[in-house]
Amino acid sequence: MSPLAFLIILLTALIVWFLGIYNAHCAGVIGRKMRRIGPPSVNAPVETPPLTVIIAAHNQAPALRRHLPDILAQEYERFEVIVVDMRSTDETKDILERLELQHAHLRHTFVPASARDISIERLALTLGFRAATTEWVVITHPDCQPASPLWLQRIGEAIVQPQLSLQSPLLKKPDIVLGYARYDESRDTWLDTKIGFYRLWATIATIQHVLSGHAAVRADACNLAYRRSLFFEHGGFADDQDLKAGAEELLVNRNANASNTALLLSPAGMVIQERIHDERSWKQMRVFYAETRCHQRNIALYRLHQFLRIVAPWLMLLLVAIPSLVCLVMAIIMPQALSIVLFVLLLILYVSYAVLQLKAIHTTATALNVRHNPWTQLYLELCVLPWYISDRLVRRFAPRNDFRKKFV
């Protein structure tokens, strides 16, 4: 191997290695500060604002039957729940009417059949915002269950005292609170491991970007608090009203900035979503995000960081792991000082990078109380690039009507 090739490989490996140090450092900061801070309500009682929970549902009667009672039973002084029925043909209406008799703070409305030229989900959320009687609105999904009875309490505390948690140094007064969610962990199949890793991987990217002082690019649609006046001030979903998916993510992307977006990282403020039962549904979700990604704004730094995170494992594999094995073979067959030195350097870089990556995701997952499998992490990090390419190819050659509402 020529000295020039040696230097190129070593320089590239060092760049990727420093990315691993950065990820581990961010994860360490999250873990240390969350352990030190503790629940806001323990540190200081606060006067929290009234909240409206909006749920848009379509033929999800079983999910509403399972999870809506837990939302209605939240230990929060002032809140209401509004369910918007998106033309369901199952028992959704009957379930809501029965629960309304038991809970005065539950109301429901519906999307009119005459609605045109707007995606049903966006129209449903708009109707929910209009029906809300409070300034702060919390968006979640029918298949989501609060992780604790203090879910809304943690959201209220993040609104009035975000400084008691881990936040961007530029945060002033929040208009948006980004919560996080995980999938139900009662099952442990290979599909559950993949989707759990991928969601945690995306969550870490969002947290790191906001903590670095940048506007949020993404949001978890299952756990989001949004100021009602901000929604109407910026026209709601006017900029992308015909897109079928990505309503909550683009709503945040359009109006978030470094000084108005708070993070809710308390495990008690998390929601748990029902698991995905098949690979095809998960693939479809990723493809729809590939379309949503094309409509995001203010994303240059975010995409650069994501690109580095995606290609880093492959660079370490192709430029460090494999060359180190080649150098080992060469050192055995034809002992040379350069081959031995290169092998040792590359081996140290690869092992330390792997340890840093494992530490980063372990620290963050532990702080967020999310289950993870460190033994499969390095392999799944290599899978992100093929998933990324596959999703964008499918999206590129799919008919445009697959992602937009068909006008009727």
Q: Is the pLDDT of residue 43 over 60?
A: no
Most confident residue range from 52-61, 298-307, 334-343? 52-61
In this predicted structure, what is the pLDDT of residue 407?
38
pLDDT, position 301: 87
Highest mean pLDDT among 157-166, 297-306, 337-346, 389-398: 389-398
pLDDT of 5 over the 80 cut: no
Distance between CA atoms of residues 196 and 157, nearest Å: 27
Residue 122: pLDDT above 80? Answer: yes
Token couple for 283: 């693939």
pLDDT for res 31: 64
381: confidence class by pLDDT, cuts 50, 70, 90: confident
pLDDT of residue 240: 85
Least confident window among 282-286, 330-334, 376-380, 386-390: 330-334
**27-31, 241-245, 366-370: range with lowest mean pLDDT:** 27-31
User: Sorting pLDDT into bands at 50, 70 and 90, what band is 208?
Assistant: confident
Q: How large a percentage of the chain has pLDDT more than 90?
A: 52
Q: Which CATH architecture has domain 38-287?
A: Alpha-Beta Complex (3.90)
Predicted confidence band of residue 277 (pLDDT cuts 50, 70, 90): confident
Close Cβ partners of 133 (under 8 Å, ≥ 6 residues apart): 50, 52, 80
Burial 162-199 (b: 16+ CB within 10 A, else e): bebbbbbeebeebbbbbbbbbbeeeeeeeebbbbbbbb
- State how beta strands 144-146 and 271-273 pair: antiparallel
Cα distance between residue 112 and residue 118, in whole Å: 12
| Residue 127: C-alpha distances to residues 108, 152, 346 (Å) | 10, 21, 58
How does pLDDT run across 148-157, given as a tens digit for each residue? Answer: 999 999 999 9
Other CB atoms within 10 Å distance of the CB of residue 77:
12
Least confident span in 113-122, 303-312, 319-328, 384-393: 319-328
- In terms of average pLDDT, the best of 200-209, 275-284, 345-354, 396-405 is 275-284
Mean pLDDT of the chain: 85
Rg (CA), the chain: 23
Distance from C-alpha of 85 to C-alpha of 81, rounded to nearest angstrom: 13
User: SS3 sequence, the chain?
Assistant: CCHHHHHHHHHHHHHHHHHHHHHHHHHHHHHHHHHHHCCHHHHCCCCCCCEEEEEEECCCHHHHHHHHHHHHCCCCCCEEEEEEECCCCCCHHHHHHHHHHHCCCEEEEECCCCCCCCCHHHHHHHHHHHHCCCCEEEEECCCEEECCCCHHHHHHHHHHCHHHCCCCCCCCCCCEEECCEEECCCCCCHHHHHHHHHHHHHHHHHHHHHHCCCCCCCCCCCCEEEEHHHHHHCCCCHHHCCECCCHHHHHHHHHCCCCCEEECCCHHHCEEECCCCCHHHHHHHHHHHHHHHCCCCCCHHHHHHHHHHHHHHHHHHHHHHHHHHHHHHHHHHCCCHHHHHHHHHHHHHHHHHHHHHHHHHHHHHHHHCCCCCHHHHHHHHHHHHHHHHHHHHHHHHCCHHHCECCCC
Across the range 86-113, mean pLDDT stands at 92
Residue 204 has a pLDDT of 86
| Residue 87, pLDDT score | 87
Q: What is the pTM for the complete model shown?
A: 0.88
Mean per-residue pLDDT, 161-172? 86
- Of 163-167, 260-264, 379-383, the one with minimum mean pLDDT is 163-167
Average of per-residue pLDDT across 15-30: 62
pLDDT at res. 30: 65
What are the domain boundaries of the chain? 3-26+302-402, 38-287
Q: 408 falls in which pLDDT band (50, 70, 90)?
A: very low
Lowest mean pLDDT among 85-89, 136-140, 282-286, 359-363: 359-363
Q: Which residue has the higher pLDDT, 6 or 184?
A: 184
Higher pLDDT, 24 or 142: 142
Question: Which among 183, 2, 142 has a CA at the least distance from the CA of 58?
Answer: 142
Token readout for 297 is: 């704004």
* 389 or 28, higher pLDDT: 389
pLDDT in tens, 44-72: 567 899 999 999 999 999 999 999 999 99
Mean pLDDT of the 89-114 span: 92
What percentage of the chain carries pLDDT values higher than 70?
81
Span 294-313, average pLDDT: 86
Looking at residue 184, what is its pLDDT?
92
pLDDT category of residue 249 using cuts at 50, 70 and 90: very high
